[in-house]
Amino acid sequence: QAQVVESGGGLVQPGGSLRLSCVASGFNVSRYDMGWYRQAPGTQRDYVALILTAGITKVTNSVKGRFTISRDNAKNTVYLQMNSLTPEDTGVYYCNNWGRSLDWGQGTQVTVSS
């Protein structure tokens, strides 16, 4: 059964850092373009970061220079390193393949607050 499990979220102060993990099972992340998505309170779920199978990465403008997406094929895991966090980064973070063919899971909650 192909699925992903997100972890690593929590409560952090503005300016802090978190590293989110997306552990895949039932498929190899090396074979698929993988993305991170975020849903802030009262908003739709939006793209945050993308990593292609070739290793090319892209992040949405609001997190450029602060967030980095990466992949460890041996661990079948995609990461999102989040630095210089602001309250606007608060939300539930999800991962999926870029085709969004997996059912959305529970995600991991990130709350940035002092």
Structure confidence by residue, pLDDT tens digits, 72-108:
999 999 999 999 999 999 999 999 999 999 999 999 9
Sequence length of the chain is 114
Among all chains, which residue has been given the structure tokens 């009262």?
42
- Overall average pLDDT of the 43-68 stretch: 97
pLDDT for residue 112: 98
> Measured between alpha carbons, how far is 96 from 16 in angstroms, rounded to an integer?
25
Which residues are CB-neighbours of 55 under 8 A, at least 6 positions away? 71
- Pick the closest to residue 105 from 93, 88, 91 (CA basis): 93
The single-letter code of the amino acid at 66 is R
Secondary structure of residue 26 in the 3-state scheme: coil
Q: Which helix (H) or strand (E) holds 96?
A: strand 91-97
